[in-house]
A and B are shown apart, each in its own frame.
Chain A
Amino acid sequence: MNELLIIIFAPLLGGVLAWALNVRGIRELLGVAGAAVPLAYLVKLYSELDASGQLSHSIDFAGFTFSFSLTHLTWVFAMIAGVVGLASTIAMVSTSRDGYEWLFALMSLTGAYGVFLSFDLLGFFIFWELMTVGSFMMVLKYSRSAGLKYFVLSVVGAFAMFLAIAKIYALSGSFAFPDVANAVYYAMGRGDLALVFGLFLVAFGVKAGMFPLHVWAPDAYSETNQSYTAMFSGVLSKTGVYGFILIYMLIGYRLMVEFGAFRSAPKFGYIIAFLGGLTIIVGGLLAALQEDIRKLFAYSSISQIGYILVAFGVGTSLSIEAGIYHAISHALFKGLFFLIVATIIYRTGKTTFADMGGLAEKMPFTFAMAFVAILSLAGIPPMAGFVSKWLIFEAVISQNLPILGGMVFFGSAIGFVYLIRFTYAVWFGQRPTDLDDTKDAPLPLAVAMAILAIPNIVFGIAPGLVVKELNKIFGGEIVTSPTLWELNLGFGRYNGLLILVWLIVGLLIAAVIYFLGAPVRKVPVTDTYQSGNPVTMEYNLTIRRNFFLPLKEALAFWLRISFDKLYRDIGAWVEDFAEVMRNYVYNGNVQSYAWYLALILLILAMWGV
């Protein structure tokens, strides 16, 4: 059997076996193996891929030819799926409850691999749906309403993609990517092109969580097994992101020729970028106002995807490379965050900030992991999150796009804001007494977190590792990397190692002054300045609810505008309309149906059919 097919189907096989056997112990082993095998094959295929540039395979099934291809681009995305998928399944060893979860979690992973490796639109679509079904079932088990919301929006996206593919197939008569790209370039009309672009935008925007199609994500990400959310947000949202690259590959040239450019960005790309910018701001602000730890990270995930969309929208090789870099670091730090959330929920059984506090003392390892994740997401040098954000900043601003530049700047501050809220409410302050015997992360979760934490640090200090791979996608030195540590764009430079070394120097200087001083005495959390009032553990003085109340007040006007509410209203209208139709038209009376039939026949007859 071909390696590519093994990569795609190994998780599904593992999942089906785990579900069928459903014996504790063996189930977990099969599941983890299902996620580990593709990763092993991806690593193994790397040298072959490097030599030949592309590995392809195609099979005939049910009268269609499905072709799969591993290129440098798809390898990078498949590796994201491999690493985050593995970490997520290892974490599921602790948190999953039955074979059902293993089956559908791994089914969605197979879907994601299929989406990345497919080289024709039909296979792409089928695997896309497989992935949606798997993730939908995972959400459905925990919450019906969140699942349905996800399902409805996914169906909208799927229909959009289906129509776009049908439109393309009608024109080209083929599903294979090269044929499609050719046919679109030579034969597609202006109107059709705009339509196909719009449909793809909806289809991929839903999956990536692009504003204003993001409304499913906060509910779906939070109402499922949090170990699985690491994969959901880390890998599955990346298929949407990959879809935007596909837009470039399939119809990008034609769109560029047909619609031209706005300043230096292609016009169609500017739409993507602008929506991405709004996604950053809306997602970030809403993240800061959440009271539930899962929702905070769900919105934060949306916000970070916005960066990737901005980068892709700008449309230069540099910005797309920056976007892919951010896709990698987003998968790493957001996967890590959801595993941390999984650990917290696993150990405390609580999800709202109001019930937590002071956990840093009880869960030092998890806190250390959270520290890495916070630094990376907030974009603190030298972490992977900083490098990718830095690349996006430089890529956007160097193209003379000031408004987008302002948007990404705002996004970096809002990141600080919601992360500190998380840090304060969960880790510090007075601890509620029922959390006094909380234990640290169980081994599988700890291993999974470590798997994701290490690259967060390594890819920040040695960005050359990543950039070398990403340059291969474009076949040129988009970002020069003279050494492993250094990036050079011509108009800006970054050196991870130097930053690390000088940060250590700075810390040492501070430490010398610190240790020259008199020794410190540890005091309990109740021994603080309280304007003369003694603090007792009976009253929890730490601000846990409505931490950013002033922000809420300042944004009161904007918060009233909600797309979620709009969609719900539309849903309610449709229901009302259906009610009216049922009362007056579909009233169940056979005689009136006969009248409708007669009426239609009459109309047809008058038309001269």
Chain B
Amino acid sequence: MGSILYRISGNPTAKALILLSPTIIYLAVFIAYPIVDSFRIAFMSEDGTITLESLDFLLSSPLSEFWDALRYTFLLAALVVPVETALALVAVIVLFKRFRGRDAVVYILAIPLALSDVAAGLIWYAMLTGKGFLNKLLIDLGLIDTPIQFFGYANKELTLLAIFLAEVWRSSAIVFIILFAGAQLINKEVLEAAEVFGASFYVRLRHILIPMLKPSLQAALIIRTLFAFQVFAVVWILAGRDIPVLAGEAYYSITELHRYDVAAVYAIIIAVISALLGLVYIRLFRETLRR
């Protein structure tokens, strides 16, 4: 390898290509090929002709919950991402100054990061079910007489609330860790300077700390928004198809309907939404990225 690089050192383009080749090969095999192949699965019939039958099924079959899935996926993303970002930001602000026990609090806040989303869904199911911890507590405290039913088709709003809580709990941790890491890089003197020059706590947050956290906030938002559109396991455990989401419908199409073509269309739709949102974020953040 060294000798090849040495020989072509006069040609920067060739050198760059060689150095990038592992990445290019990786992207080709694990990203480009599956995307191309999913289009083939979605829109090519067995005899090799192009067909839109899968799309037709998705949009008009009584078995399809596409529009609801789209609506709920967007709704969940729109609820979960801002709330968890705000919560994580509050935690970072509270934990900005060193105090006794701070490290312990950081570790505890990071615990959900280590749990699989299935486990997270099960924990919240166990907690919120009719005989679960929450209902027992409320009954023992005398606040309610009969358990609150979070689950079942008749309780869609409460099921949605349960999913929202579980998702916020599960994924606030990653946002927190990203923001906390970003905050560690901020020189404490920068905030002390603002304090000496007369800035109140609010002004220091609004004009110093949060603007300086902007790169971390952007990274966390991009990661979380994209992942929010892949929401699946927590929803599947807590709601099944009572609350349909895009990734859940893809899974259902394969396992129950054996419609690989429909599942592929769902995959493509999720990919397209992710790509578009990625573009929007990059546009929005371009100014700071340049700096």
Note whether A and B form a binding pair: no
